[in-house]
Amino acid sequence: MLCNQQDNPTRVRSAMVCLRPSWCSTFFWCRAISSFEILPTLKDKRQAVDISQQIEEGISAYLVTITIMNAAVGVATAAAMYLCGLGDPLLWGATGFLLN
33-89 per-position pLDDT tens digit:
565 566 678 888 888 899 999 999 999 999 999 999 999 999 999 999 999 999 999
Do residues 86 and 92 touch, judged by C-beta distance below 8 A?
yes
Among candidate residues 58, 3, 6, the one with its CA nearest the CA of residue 25: 3
Domain count, the chain: 1
Residue 74 belongs to some domain of the structure: yes
- For residues 85 and 46, what is the distance between their CA atoms, to the nearest angstrom? 58
Residue 32 belongs to some domain of the structure: no
Amino acid 33: pLDDT: 59
Helix runs in 1-100, H state only: 9-13, 23-29, 42-84, 89-99
Amino acid 7: pLDDT: 43
pTM here is 0.57
Q: What average pLDDT does range 19-42 have in this prediction?
A: 62
Residue 60 belongs to some domain of the structure: yes
Amino acid 19: pLDDT: 46
- 63: domain range? 56-100
Residue 46 belongs to some domain of the structure: no
Residue 41 belongs to some domain of the structure: no
